Amino acid sequence: MFDILQSDIIVMQELKIQRKDLRDDMVLLDGWDAYFSLPKHKKGYSGVGMYTRNSACAPIRAEEGLLGFLPSSEASGVLYRDMDEKESIGGYPSAAQLEGLGVDDPTALDAEGRCLILEFPAFVLLGVYCPANSNGQRDDFRHGFIRALDCRVRNLTKLRKRVVLVGDLNVNRDEMDGASALDDRRKGNISHEEYISTPNRRIFNQLLLGGEVVGQRDEGREQGVLLDTTRHFHPERRGMYTHWEQKINARPGNFGSRIDFILVCDAMREWLKDANTQDGLLGSDHCPVFIDFHEEVALEDRQVQLVDFMHPVATLINGNRETQLAPALSAKRMQEFDRRRSIKSMFAGASVKTAQPMTYTARQQKEEHMNTQAERAMEESSLPPVTPVHSPSAFDVAPPVTRGTEDVQSPTSLQSVPELKPIVDLKRRPAVAPSPRAMKRQKSNSTIQSHSRPSGQQSLRGFFRSASGNGTVRDTTSALTSDAGVDPVNGQLPLTTSVAELTTGNCTSEIDAIQTSDTMPEERASSTSKIPGGSPAREASPTNFEARAATHHSWNSLFSKPAAPLCESHDEPCKSMQTKKKGSNQGRSFWMCARPLGPSGQKESGSEWRCGTFIWCSDWGGGKK
């Protein structure tokens, strides 16, 4: 995935995992550092993660939480906001500011895993996942969070630190960033000014440079401080959405909203090279948003390489980048991953000097060859004599042939190849013909040759019955056993039976004769066969097949789901949905058009998008689904 994104810093939101869910393939990535802020209490809830490429950037500080009320990993449990100014990122709201935020429990707000902050020499990066609008159940918490975010960003700006804010803010700027905005206005019977002035949207627009604010600005928010990078490069583009509702399959029709942002301070405006959305990258109900900086940026009165500005000064020595210890919040420094290596890094150890090949002269090679032959001859003379074993199942072993080094033949010689001495295992026992395998005691011949079996399948033998030419059913397994004279105990053909007798059909039995392929079709039709035991075969008739087909159809219709109705506009099968909204119809299923919702967000008739077909499942198919 990282290769597809081609980024140096990747920020993820809504991870919905806990610390125990982290795996090696999430943390131990070669060339990357990983940082996580996960919920402390709720399971499968929120969560923010960041990945930084070591060759491009190295954070000098890292912390989680927005207000600084979580214990620091660097200072052995001291709160981030209580650490020394040189060791902390800073910008924490003061006591007076906390009172005005309306946050009841600052620690609980930080413990939800919604904010992760990394500080680089170039800027401070905030990865944020703001609370969503949950049908008005947590409006106070959501409003307090966005107020705290505004306060922290402004405090960092006052400290003359460059700020980059990335994340899912769950709020849009205006009607241009929401496909359902006009619909929402019409349903709520509100004007544009009222839509812009909703509490969370008003705070967000006051944070932005050029954000639309109705009336006088709030105290402490007299000026915007962050630039909307995507809108900066595409000011007039409509339909530039980053989120689509999955329940209504709104992405194909691009009926969504823009709630994912990358915001930078005004001092970094000239650093920007490009910014856009990647709406073609699937896999989530959100799409990625990216920005690209210039490789060389203006810093005060000089031009610097951004890659050098993203690392601490001590990590660059003579053009070689040294690996520094990552901040304590790094996932690689967690107890379960500390001093661990990935499988790939195990094969990238220190290089070992290979031994240089030794050169020999022709004389040295001949002397070494003679010494080897002498040692081999001494080993052969020390072995006891071996007597070859002559048996039908064993090969004759030729006696060893001793020859000197002068008897070696060239590969192109036409003389006979000398026989090689076999390697004999002195502990191996002589080969003994295996005794026939003991077979289980089977039923008596009277059972096998019984012919009084009633019609129909009474045993597994019925699976091997084949239909003969006149419609009768014949047990081919029994015929083969009887006709070929198979031993009922061992289940083997006698040695006196030849293959020709089996193929020509000369083998007969007292029961029946195997019908060969030489029989004419007329003879097959005229011959009358009987099932063993004298009972006549049941003839296949159209009536029997029709009865079986009717039975099969009735059983299928009883247990199968009813066929989906066709929608009104497209004559295509509908899809089944279930009502989850509380009320008298909660839990009921219904049929609706399976096509995605169109750009208008409304059900359309006569178009390629979803039509207005709606049928209760209880009204279709004779029963409630």
- Which residues are identified as catalytic? 129, 168
Helices 199-207 and 139-158 cross at an angle (nearest 10°) of 10
- Three-state DSSP at 310 gives coil
Write the single-letter amino acid at 16. Answer: K
Helix then strand count (H, E) for the chain reads: 17, 24
Tokens of 212: 């639309």
Helix (H) or strand (E) holding 159: none
Tokens of 367: 């002397």
d(CA 177, CA 184): 13
Tokens of 511: 């029961």
Tokens of 248: 């209504």
Backbone angles phi, psi at 143, to 5 degrees: -65, -40
Beta bridge partners of 33: 52
* Cβ partners under 8 Å of residue 438, min gap 6: none
* DSSP summary character for residue 251: T
* Cβ partners under 8 Å of residue 214, min gap 6: 193, 196, 197, 202
In terms of DSSP bridges, do strands 124-129 and 163-168 run parallel, antiparallel, or are they unpaired?
parallel
d(CA 91, CA 45): 27
Look-up of token digits 């003839």: 539
* DSSP summary character for residue 57: -
Backbone angles phi, psi at 463, to 5 degrees: -70, -20
Write the single-letter amino acid at 245. Answer: E
- Three-state DSSP at 307 gives helix
Backbone angles phi, psi at 488, to 5 degrees: -65, -20
Which residue pairs, CB below 8 angstroms and at least 24 apart, start in 585-590? 588/616, 588/617, 588/618, 588/624, 589/616, 589/617, 589/618, 589/624, 589/625, 590/614, 590/615, 590/616, 590/617
Instruction: Let me know: does 48 contact 115? Beta carbons within 8 Å.
Output: yes
Residue 48, CA distances (Å) to 12, 152, 311 in order: 6, 18, 23
Q: 241: burial class by Cβ within 10 Å (0-12, 13-18, 19+)?
A: buried
* Cβ partners under 8 Å of residue 186, min gap 6: none
d(CA 390, CA 400): 17
Question: Given CA atoms 362, 366, 368, 372 in this order, what sign does their dihedral have?
Answer: positive
Instruction: Let me know: does 512 contact 528? Beta carbons within 8 Å.
Output: no
| DSSP code per residue over 469-534 | TTS-EEEHHHHHHHHTT--TTT----TT--HHHHHHT--B-SS-BPPPTTS-HHHHHH---EETTT
